[in-house]
Structure 1
Amino acid sequence: MRPGRRNLITDVDGLRVGQAQDARLKSGVSVLVGAAPFVAGVHVMGGAPGTRETDLLAPDKLVQEVDALVLSGGSAFGLDAVGGVVEGLRTAGRGFAVGGVQVPIVPGAILFDLLNGGDKGWTQNPYPALGRAALAAAGADFALGSAGAGYGATTADLKGGIGSASVVLEGGMTVGALVAVNALGSAVMGGGPQFWAAPWEIGDEFGGLGTGANDPGAEPALEIGPGEATTIAIVATDAKLTQAQTTRLAVAAHDGMARALSPSHTPFDGDLVFAAATGARALADPAGDPLRLGHAAATCLARAIARGVYHARPEPGDTRPAWIARFGPRD
């Protein structure tokens, strides 16, 4: 396996990512949108999720494809970012046809960043406008670290952020991941600088620092209160998958979260993974390819988590230091 050209989820042809953030708010929104509707699934392993329209993604439901997926800060307020994306898609004529009406199908998930030092004293919910702005900014290239839904994200000991990575399998299929890292746990070993995801790093995409010393008996220091976490992600592929197979891809991808964050999937995190399949490539091996895709999705997600923390930048009012500030400049 090798990274795609950009080492971003947009290496999956037909997918674009848009992001918008508000520096004063210390929060933002990230949107994955397809050139055409795509099959999607979801799996939740955290104990405190916040979601919109995820019931539609069950394999037995009527609608089998979606127009976009949304990751947002803002806790329950951030769910309204989906409304902004829906309005933008409706204006563009996108959506599921119901009689003479187009209804955009846009599931979303949120993370908690309300106590990160930003100004949350708004009189009008800012997230619908951020959602629409993120959709309008969608393209093949996008920022990592302090951007979009990861703009105000934190982990146990460092700033979090938006991360992405991709891989091209030997058979030609592409898998990518997009993640907003806002975990109760830590992305680094023993305080850093090495990342838990180090065994899965390709090249020096998050510093090339190798693995560090780990005390397997150390217990996590849980300094974040209930409701103040959640890592939300999307994995995507150009393979042709059913909705059931796409859901299994989301399940497998959670292994990557567990590889990159310690602890993960806690009762206080709303850890969730969406999966998307554009259907451009038929499975050459219907039995073996889903296994390969699941492994690739987990690997990509682990790498993307480390990249999100690695690329976070220091800003005024931060409640956690950025990796770059604590461990020195990148090469």
Structure 2
Amino acid sequence: MQNLITDVPGVLVGNADDRERATGVSVVLFEEAAAAAVSILGGAPGVRDTALLEPEMTVETVDAIVLSGGSAFGLDAAGGVMAVLVERGRGFRVGDALVPIVPQAILFDLLNGGDKAWGRKPPFFDLGAAACEAASAGFRLGTAGAGYGATTATLKGGLGSASAVTESGFVVGALVAVNAVGTATMGEGPHFWAAPYEQNAEFGGIGWPYARPKDALVPRLKGGPGRNTTIAVVATDARLGKAQAKRIANAAHDGLARALRPAHTPLDGDIVFAAGTGRREVAGPMALNEIAMAASDVLARAVARGVYEATALPYPGALPAWKDRFGRIMVSP
């Protein structure tokens, strides 16, 4: 176990980013087509090909899921992923044609200091293809992939991941690009809202503060409409139908609410995909309940890891990274 979404059998992740433009793409690639669903609880989402994920729609499985920076420009990334998958013979067959099924969500990172003057050819098609080609079991966190240009209200955001094994033995993992309108930490201090769910000091191990900071609940918000959005994928090795995947995606949103203040606002997109690779059968509703609980926990942990592992962008006025401000804090023995 690497404490990554790729601990789920059948899941690979690839990142590609552009330092000059301060943006990037992450691809969750399924070794075999997987049942998937999406749940959107924020008021400002940006998505591609998500309608087909609803339970009543014809296509049953997806080949990959894309998370991207670039706001609506970033929606080109799925095209790059599709081009690579067609070369590999992947996709939904219609006669002699193959159409890879690649839903996508995007976040807004156009005002983070990077050069966004890309003219008529935004970089996202190429970034999507590169991320797909880079997909493997190991990948970078923090300022990487879709989290490269991400921010929160007070600190640099980033790409986070975490995994867990349920009591019944199902593996559940999460990948998230944290670009929240609010904060992942309490007030002006170092403590993560997700601290109760931390495993093995994965985001510093400092736990809760002795007493809640007086300013913990003071709202800290960035930007305005369309400048935010936290986007995520949760995956499990369970065999799920689309309706079951939808239930897991809904439950996983609790992880965003535990790790970010606020979540699910009119100013966030807050999109969660859920997928099952079908390696293990689900025996009854209690097993599905375990997966749902684990999905929300690993997503909360992944959010904190994304902020904890980030490094600041090299631009004037860029937000500091958590480690820049709090990296010298030592955990008490």
TM-score (norm 1): 0.96
Q: Which residue of 1 aligns with 2:64?
A: 68
CA distance in 1, matches of 2:87, 2:24: 22
CA distance in 2, matches of 1:75, 1:38: 26
Q: CA deviation at 1:283?
A: 1.4
1:18-53, Cα deviation, whole Å (9 max, x unpaired): 000000100000000111100000000000000000
CA distance in 1, matches of 2:271, 2:328: 32
CA distance in 1, matches of 2:207, 2:132: 37
Q: Which residue of 1 aligns with 2:319?
A: 320
CA distance in 1, matches of 2:146, 2:222: 22
CA distance in 2, matches of 1:287, 1:67: 26
Q: Which residue of 2 aligns with 1:54?
A: 50
Q: Which residue of 2 aligns with 1:108?
A: 104
Match of 1:127 among 102, 121, 124: 124
CA distance in 1, matches of 2:298, 2:89: 33
Q: CA deviation at 1:329?
A: 4.6
Q: Summarize the Cα distance change of 1:85–1:280 in structure 2 as closer, same or farther, 3 Å threshold.
A: same
2:315 is equivalent to residue 309 of structure 1 = no
CA distance in 1, matches of 2:63, 2:216: 45
- Structure 2 SS opposite 1:238: strand
Alignment of 1:82-161 (within 5 A): 82-123=78-119, 124-161=121-158
CA distance in 2, matches of 1:217, 1:182: 19
Q: Which residue of 1 aligns with 2:262?
A: 263
2:291 is equivalent to residue 290 of structure 1 = no
1:227-280, Cα deviation, whole Å (9 max, x unpaired): 110000000000111110001000000000000000111101111000010111
Q: Which residue of 2 aligns with 1:230?
A: 229
1:46-83, Cα deviation, whole Å (9 max, x unpaired): 00000000000000111010000000000000001011
> Conserved in 2, the CA contact under 8 Å of 1:111 and 1:230?
yes
Q: Summarize the Cα distance change of 1:40–1:226 in structure 2 as closer, same or farther, 3 Å threshold.
A: same
> Conserved in 1, the CA contact under 8 Å of 2:186 and 2:216?
no
CA distance in 1, matches of 2:2, 2:222: 36
Match of 2:10 among 11, 14, 23: 14
Q: CA deviation at 1:218?
A: 3.1
Q: Summarize the Cα distance change of 1:184–1:283 in structure 2 as closer, same or farther, 3 Å threshold.
A: same
Q: Which residue of 1 aligns with 2:19?
A: 23
- Structure 2 SS opposite 1:61: coil
With 163-172 and 222-231 compared, the bigger mean Cα shift is at 222-231
Letter in 2 for 1:198: A
TM-score (norm 2): 0.96
> Conserved in 1, the CA contact under 8 Å of 2:187 and 2:218?
no
- Structure 1 SS opposite 2:146: helix
Q: Which residue of 2 aligns with 1:184?
A: 181
Q: Summarize the Cα distance change of 1:330–1:222 in structure 2 as closer, same or farther, 3 Å threshold.
A: closer
CA distance in 1, matches of 2:329, 2:216: 31
Letter in 1 for 2:268: D
Letter in 2 for 1:274: F
- Structure 1 SS opposite 2:187: helix
With 114-123 and 321-330 compared, the bigger mean Cα shift is at 321-330
Alignment of 1:202-281 (within 5 A): 202-212=199-209, 213-215=212-214, 218-281=217-280
Q: Which runs of no fewer than 5 residues in structure 2 stay unpaired?
A: none
Letter in 1 for 2:129: R
Matched residues, number: 326
Letter in 2 for 1:231: T
- Structure 2 SS opposite 1:130: helix
CA distance in 2, matches of 1:159, 1:251: 27
Q: CA deviation at 1:216?
A: 8.3
- Structure 1 SS opposite 2:82: helix
- Structure 2 SS opposite 1:192: coil
> Conserved in 2, the CA contact under 8 Å of 1:324 and 1:330?
no
Letter in 1 for 2:88: A
Q: CA deviation at 1:10?
A: 0.3
1:142-163, Cα deviation, whole Å (9 max, x unpaired): 0000000000100010000000
- % identity of equivalent residues: 59
